[in-house]
Every structure is written in structure tokens, then in C-alpha cells.
Amino acid sequence: MSLNKQDVQKIAHLARLSLSDNESEQYQESISSVLTLVEQMQSVNTDGVEPLCNPLEMTQRLREDAVTESNQRDSYLAIAPQSENGLYLVPQVID
Amino acid sequence: MHSQNITLLAQKLRAKEFSSVELTQHFLDRIKQFDTSINSFITITEEKALTAAKIADTRISNGEKNPLIGIPIAHKDLFCTQNTLTTCASKMLNNFVPPYESTVTQRMLDSGSIMLGKTNMDEFAMGSSNENSFFGSVKNPWNLEAVPGGSSGGSAAAVAAGLIVAATGTDTGGSIRQPASFCGITGLKPTYGRVSRFGMIAFASSLDQAGPMARSAEDCAHILNSIAGFDEKDSTSSEAEKEDYTAHLNQPLTGLKIGLPKEYFGDALDQEVAKVTLDAVKEFEKLGATIVDISLPNLNLSIPSYYVIAPSEASSNLSRFDGVRFGHRCDDPKDLLDMYMRSRSEGFGAEVQKRIMVGTYALSEGYYDAYYLKAQKIRRLIKQDFVDALSQVDVIMGPVAPTTAFKLNSKTQDPVAMYLEDIYTLSVNLAGIPAMSIPAGFIDKMPVGLQIMGNYFAEAKLLNVAHQFQQNTDWHTQTPTLAEGV
């Protein structure tokens, strides 16, 4: 499995990563080699095999619908790159 | 003081041979003396440690029994520690001081152990050599030109060098066992769900599991007693009762059935590692065990299955690092998208970005069935191999890694070669069973680990098997000769 440079740039965009041309080329090679490594899966017959997503095959545990957390807004905002008036600040989204 | 086990240290603390403050100071001094050359710590919490040690001395004087009270330990820098920097060895979290405590570190605090600092690792636990750390490679105390293994390489190196009594690690594909093998210490990856993942910075959530790294199985048992058990804050935490993991350490091994999977002794395995492994197995025969030849036919498929599942889950987990709520944000973003993209590219190292992209590709529209779903089906085949094998035998033994610790920079140019290093450890995480690495010998003065795998929730059995070996051998008591730091 081999990716071209446009594939890599598309994946990078989906993953919200910004790559230089040089980096795209390097990742093109290294990601392709991983995809080649995993290609041997396709030769295995898995007809009728159920996918395994949790090794203990647990089902989702539910809890009471009750408030258990206290308000931690100040301590969470204290570690944010930028905040103001109790809100996270990001670059302007709407003109 | 730095070569004694937890049981002995606990006795001496109670006999007032030394105080926890003195013990803590002794290890802090050793870290200062030797860690400039090993680089096993990212953060040292000297002041907090000495304050906690004073409290521990009072608890001991008051007659409290927990053997971990006053014992100096370290945590992998992947566990969130309230008000103490937690970086995951990434530039992304270079300034991250968590507002909350992980369950593992909270339970270790409650047990009275003293945290001396946070250990180095591969960035976001992605690596097998500790060369992917924003804070520089960790060096193997047995040979400073060799890697300590990864991703919990800092924890393994610190324990091996006697800079700490024990440490925590995490294991997603071998990250406790392989560095334990490379550094000549004892490490245990518990059953998936046995130890809470709450407050562990997530890598691959269906594989991640925390466990102890120490100088002996007995020390690991003390730590597992503290950290194991149900936690309502982790949605995949098991409700199975925890045990006293020290209770069965002394059971004789007469009649123990050990499975030797032929796939673990194929061409990939260094012949000298094979010999050390088989010599260790012979030692178990002397202790009354019998050997059964078994097969785990899908072993080779664990590499492709893992390198789809782990990056896929990582790409999802690491989407939280967006420069908005915590972690690195780029300078002067021109808009929201620019902020996301530059913050992430500046914050993540190359291996992390690569795995995020592999996972993004595997989960993207049109590819999900061929990659993620296929990998999960193969995961079931791998699990079934272990279920079948463990219906015939009590434990499975084999090598941890194909070789001893390799030289720094020897595999960084060939990432696929690095991935193949994980062949003997990945399948355990895919199946979710517990496994250990214990010191079993040396090749050219470098340690070799023996892997012991067991059934779901059979941690007590694994620790019993490992402890009996350690009662009859002295590989685990060997220590490297350290040079003072430059």
C-alpha cells in the first residue's frame, strides 16, 4: 500500500496537522511502510468472526443520573492558554 | 538502602534503623548524583517528597501496617498528578499541571508511598526505545550507549539504577515488559481493567493498562495491592474482586503446567535469548513444573492488528489536544483552523504525528472495514488462541523481546524494524491477559527477561510463579555499576 503526497496532505488535514512539503514527503514514505506492514491482514479469512473491541467483552456500565461533580471551572480555566470572564478564548470564528 | 526490597525497608523503618525522611533523602541524593547521565526523570518533586516523608514517619510511629508507607517511588509521567507537571514527554504538555489526580497515583498516595518524581518515557507512550521523548533519550544503566526500552523506559532505568525503590508504568503493547527486560527488573502488566485508567493520559483505550515495575515480584505484589481494584471513574474498570497479591507468593510450584508456544521460538528470536529463556524454563522444571508444547498460531498477525487498532484509538484520543483548553497553543493564530493545525504540529513529535495519521487513515470513510474492523476480527482470533492454550496450561512462558537492549539510534531510521521488536508482547494486550517480565540471565552483560503470561485475573498466580523463581535464582538481585554523572 503506497500513498501519494496528496493522500498524505488530505490525511494531515483530517487530523488537523500542518505539514511542510518536506515533511509530507517523509510521512508519505513512513506511513506507506506501516500500511504495507498491516496489509497481511487482508489475506486472513475472518468470515463469521465477530470483531472484538473490549478484551473482557464488558458492556457499558450505567450510573445513577445524579450530579456527582462539583464546579471546577476556575481550576480548569487556570491551565487554559487563554481565558476571559470564565470562558475559553479562541480566535474569532464569526465576523 | 537502595538495593533492598519493600518488605525489608518496611521492617527497618519500623525498627527505626532509619526514617522515611532519611530514606527519601538517600534516593534524592542518588538521583542528583546519577540521573544526569541516565535521564530517567522529567520532574523531581523534592520538597513535596520530604514533606510527605515526615507524615509517613508519623504514620509508622502510630503503628500503621501498610508496607508502602514511607517507601520512595516514582510515577511514569503519563499519570496526572494534581499540581505537579505532567508532560507525557511531549512538547504539547510541556506546561500541563493537572487540576486532578489519577486513580493510580491517588491510591499510591493513600497507601503512604512517597513520590520522588515523574519518569521519562516515549512521547504519549508511543515507542519501544525511549528515543521519542521531548526531554531526550533515557540511557540504559547497564550500558549508557544502549536504549532502556520503552515506553516506560524512565521507570525501568530508574529502578535498575537504584534511583528509586519501585515505579509505575503503563503497557499498551509491551511498554512495561520490554523495558523491564532490557533493564533487568521485574514488571507486571495486569489484566485489562484490573487497574483504573482514570487520569492516565490515553493512548489506545482498549489496550492501555497500568502496572508496577520493581526489583522483585514480591515488591510488584505490594504495589498491585495498592493500585488494583474497581474504580467507578473508569468505564472499563473490572468489578471483579481484587485479591491480596502477596498471599500466595510462597505456594510451591509442584504440578504447575507451563506452555511453551513454538511461535515464540522462531527465526526472529536471537539464539542466545532463546537459550537464556529455555534455561529459565529448566529452572521451573526443577521446582516441580511440567512443560507442555503449545501453539499460538496467529502470533504474527498481532503486529498488523495492533498497528491498526492502537493508532486508530490514538488518533481519536489525541484529538483532544487542540490548543483551546490545555497544553500547547501556537503563537498568533490567524484563525481557528490555523490554531488547531499549527498547535498540533508544533506540539506533537514525528512518531506521534505519524501514528495519528495512520489511525486517521484507517478510520476514514471507505477504509474502516478494511482496517479497523478487520483488525478487531483478527484480535478475536488472537484472543481465542490464548483462551485455547490457557485451557491446557497454567501459564505460558517465552521471551519478552527478540534481543537484548539495542544501541541508541540503531533502529530510528527503520521504524518498521522497531515495530517488529514488539512481536512477543503485543498479543497479550490484544487478548487483555496479564503478563510479567522477570530477570532470567545476561548476554554480554546485558539483562534478558523471561515473559510469563497467564489467564484473565491470574495476577496472583503469575506473581507466585515469579516469586518462586526469584527465591531460587539471583538474576533479579544483580545491579549495574554506575558512573557518576557528567
User: Which among B97, B99, B232 is the nearest to A72, CB-wise?
Assistant: B99
Q: pTM of the entire structure?
A: 0.97
Beta bridge partners of B200: B79
* Residue B111 is a catalytic residue: no
Nearest chain A CA: its distance from B370 CA (Å): 8
Chain B 295-334, CB below 8 Å of chain A: which residues? 300-301, 303-305, 307-308, 311, 315, 319, 322-329, 333-334
Select the more confidently predicted residue: A77 or A59. A77
Residue carrying the nine cell digits 488535514: A13
Half-sphere exposure of B265 (CA within 13 A, CB side): 17
Cα separation, A76 vs A73, whole angstroms:
5
How are strands ordered across the β-sheet holding B210-214?
B41-44, B114-119, B72-76, B166-170, B210-214, B186-189, B435-443, B446-454, B395-399, B257-261, B290-294
Catalytic option among B151, B226, B302, B343 = B151
**DSSP label at B322?**
S
Q: Do A34 and B338 touch (CB under 8 A)?
A: no
CATH entry 1.10.3720.10 includes domain B6-253+408-477: no
Judge whether B40 counts as a catalytic residue: no
ipTM at complex level = 0.96
pLDDT of B438:
98
State the smallest CA–CA distance between residue A75 and chain B in angstroms: 6
Torsion of CA B146, B151, B154, B157, to 10 degrees: -50
Q: Compute the nearest-CA separation of B187 from chain A (Å).
A: 21
- Of the candidates B40, B76, B102, B238, the residue annotated as catalytic is B76
Element (H, E) at B285: helix B271-286
**Cα–Cα distance, B356 to A15 (Å, whole number):** 7
- Interchain contact B230–A (C-beta under 8 A): no
CA B4, B88, B352: angle at the middle one, nearest 5?
130
Q: What is the pLDDT of residue B486?
A: 42
| Candidate from A7, A56, A78 with C-beta closest to B238 | A56
Query: Which residue among B345, B371, B378 sits closest to A19, beta carbon to beta carbon?
Result: B345
B411 is catalytic: no
Give pLDDT, residue A1: 73
Query: Is B380 in contact with A33 (Cβ distance < 8 A)?
Result: no
What is the residue-wise DSSP string for B386-442?
A: HHHHTTT-SEEEEESSSSSPPBTTSSTT-HHHHHHTTTTTHHHHHHT--EEEEEEEE
Q: Which residue of A has its CA nearest to B420?
A: A37
Beta carbons of B389 and B261 less than 8 angstroms apart: yes
Q: Chain B residue with minimal CA distance to A41?
A: B304
Q: How far is residue B93's CA from residue B80's CA, in Å, rounded to a whole number?
A: 11
CATH architecture for residues A5-40: Orthogonal Bundle (1.10)
The shortest C-alpha distance from B393 to chain A (Å) reads 20
The span from the CA of B386 to the CA of B435, in Å, is: 12
**Chain A positions in Cβ-Cβ contact with residue B379 (cut-off 8 Å):** 51-52
Give me the total of CB pairs closer than 8 Å, taking one residue from chain A and one from chain B. Answer: 168
- What are the beta bridge partners of residue B398? B451
The burial class, CB within 10 Å (0-12 / 13-18 / 19+), for B27 is buried
Mean pLDDT in consecutive groups of 10 residues from the start of chain B, 486 residues: 93 98 98 97 98 98 97 98 98 97 98 98 97 98 97 98 98 98 98 98 98 98 98 95 96 98 94 98 98 97 97 98 97 96 98 98 94 98 98 98 95 82 96 98 98 98 98 97 67
pLDDT band at A2 (very low <50, low <70, confident <90, very high): confident
Supply the mean pLDDT for chain A. Answer: 94
